[in-house]
Structure 1
Amino acid sequence: MILVIDVGNTRIKAAVFEGATLFEIFVFSKIELQKNIQNILKNFENITDIVVSSVGDVEKQSFLEYNNGLNVHFLSHEDFFPFHNSYATPKTLGIDRMVLAAGATFRFPNQNRLVIDAGTCITYDFIDDKNNYLGGAIAPGLRLRYESLHNFTAKLPLLSLESPKDLIGTSTSESIHSGVVNGFVYEIDGFIDEYKARYSNFIIILTGGDTDFLAKRLKNTIFANSNFLLESLNQTFQYKIKND
């Protein structure tokens, strides 16, 4: 059994796999890391490996204490990936984006793929049908857009994510929801349309914490899976084992 752990900017997601079979998913805050790992290992005694993908600020030492009884792996740019990295600054490419690109390559062979990860940031990653990773885009996610309106203005309130009642906001709160949510959706659809104009044989993969909220609002046909990163992390590790 393998425990995969994705350390994001805001929270930690983990999952237990045996081969390609997913047993359980866990979501928790960074301060709950040790308690949750201990509970997972207690409930799944057959775990032999912990695989970590991190873009957050959790120290490696938090995981290395389990290295005595388990094999702890930190995915890095030095590992084998199933695509050619054509990014101009490959060492600055987030390991989470690399894992998502790997998962798209495994799941949808011989297609052009756009992976959209809607979390703290929204990232767009494009892998062509020849398995070349070409790059993409990074922009603020939904939560950051709400926070920026509040933090960088004098009077706008800090709101939580909410579906707009209408395109036309009839109050300040409604106007914020319309601007943030509708603007976000228009941005995603706009990116997709531009990619589709350039490439055929195309698949769009939507993942991340805001997947369920966004999927029904987009006009384009997408493959939506909020756990795509965890599944891709497991697949990438299996690929690493075979190629080491």
Structure 2
Amino acid sequence: MLITIDVGNSRIKVAVFEQNTLIELFVFETNDAEKKFKKILKKYPNATHSTISSVGKINFEVFDYLKTNTNLQIVSHETKFPFTNLYNTPKTLGIDRMVVAAGAVLQYPSQNRLIIDAGTCITYDFVDKKDQYLGGAISPGVKIRYNSLHEYTAKLPLLEKKNIENFIGDSTENAIHSGIINGICYEIDGFISQYLLKNQDLTIILTGGDADFLAKRLKSTIFANSNFLLESLNLLSIYLHEND
């Protein structure tokens, strides 16, 4: 069994895999990490291997605990990925973006792929059918947009995302919801349209914490999978084992 670990900007997501089957999913805050991992390993004593990718912070005690109790694999820029990285600044490319690009290559071979990760930021990553990573885009995520409107204005309230029924906001709160949610959906659909102009056989994967919330609002045909990064870590671990 394998434990895959995604350390994000705001929380940690963990999945337990048996081959390609996701057995159980866990989500928790960073400060609870060591306690949570002890519970996971107690529940799954056969989970002898783990693999981790991190864009956030995790303390050394947690790393030491995972190294001591599992065969820990840390995904880094030096990891062997199943694509050619043509990014002009490869060392600045986020590990999370590299992992989902790897997952797209391994799960959807010989296709053009656009991976959209709707988390703290919304990232767009394109890997062509020749398995060449070409780059993408980064924009503010849902929560950042709500926070920004509140923090950079004098009177706009701080709101949480919610489902919207009307395009025209009939109050300040509804206008904020409409502007943010519709704006993000138009952005994503616009990016997809631009990629489709040159790549008719495009496979589109939407993932991240806001994937399910946004998926039903998009016009484009997509594969929505909020756990795609964790699944990609599993696929990458198998790939590295087979190509060691």
For Structure 1 versus Structure 2, the TM-score category normalised by the shorter chain is: over 0.9
Paired residues of 1:118 and 1:209 also in contact (CA < 8 A) = yes
Return the alpha-carbon distance in structure 1 between the equivalents of residues 220 and 173 of structure 2: 28
Paired residues of 2:7 and 2:55 also in contact (CA < 8 A) = yes
- Alignment of 1:237 with 2:237, yes or no, is yes
Paired residues of 1:64 and 1:72 also in contact (CA < 8 A) = no
The residue aligned with 2:139 is 139
Paired residues of 1:113 and 1:203 also in contact (CA < 8 A) = yes
Pairs within 5 Å for 1:71-86 = 71-86=71-86
Return the alpha-carbon distance in structure 1 between the equivalents of residues 167 and 216 of structure 2: 16
Return the alpha-carbon distance in structure 1 between the equivalents of residues 23 and 47 of structure 2: 12
Return the alpha-carbon distance in structure 2 between the equivalents of residues 83 and 16 of structure 1: 25
TM-score (norm 1): 0.97
Paired residues of 1:168 and 1:175 also in contact (CA < 8 A) = yes
Report Cα offsets for 1:165-218 as digits up to 9, x if no partner. 311111100100000000000000000000001112111100011111111100
State the one-letter code of the partner of 2:103: G
Return the alpha-carbon distance in structure 1 between the equivalents of residues 232 and 71 of structure 2: 19
Paired residues of 2:34 and 2:65 also in contact (CA < 8 A) = no
State the one-letter code of the partner of 1:173: E
For structure 1, list consecutive stretches of 5 or more residues without a partner in the other structure.
Answer: none
Return the alpha-carbon distance in structure 2 between the equivalents of residues 13 and 67 of structure 1: 18
For structure 2, list consecutive stretches of 5 or more residues without a partner in the other structure.
Answer: none
Report the secondary structure of 1:206's partner residue: strand
The residue aligned with 1:182 is 182
1:59 positional shift: 3.1
> What is the count of residue pairs matched by the alignment?
244
Report the secondary structure of 2:68's partner residue: coil
1:152 positional shift: 0.7
The residue aligned with 1:35 is 35
1:61 positional shift: 4.1
Return the alpha-carbon distance in structure 2 between the equivalents of residues 165 and 200 of structure 1: 32
Report Cα offsets for 1:9-44 as digits up to 9, x if no partner. 111100011211211010111111111100000000
The residue aligned with 1:70 is 70
Pairs within 5 Å for 1:5-20 = 5-20=5-20
The residue aligned with 2:171 is 171
1:75 positional shift: 0.4
The residue aligned with 2:113 is 113
Structure 1 residues 66 and 229, CA, compared in 2 at 3 Å: closer, same or farther? closer
Q: Percent identity of the aligned residues?
A: 58
Moved over 6 A (4+): none
Paired residues of 1:5 and 1:52 also in contact (CA < 8 A) = yes
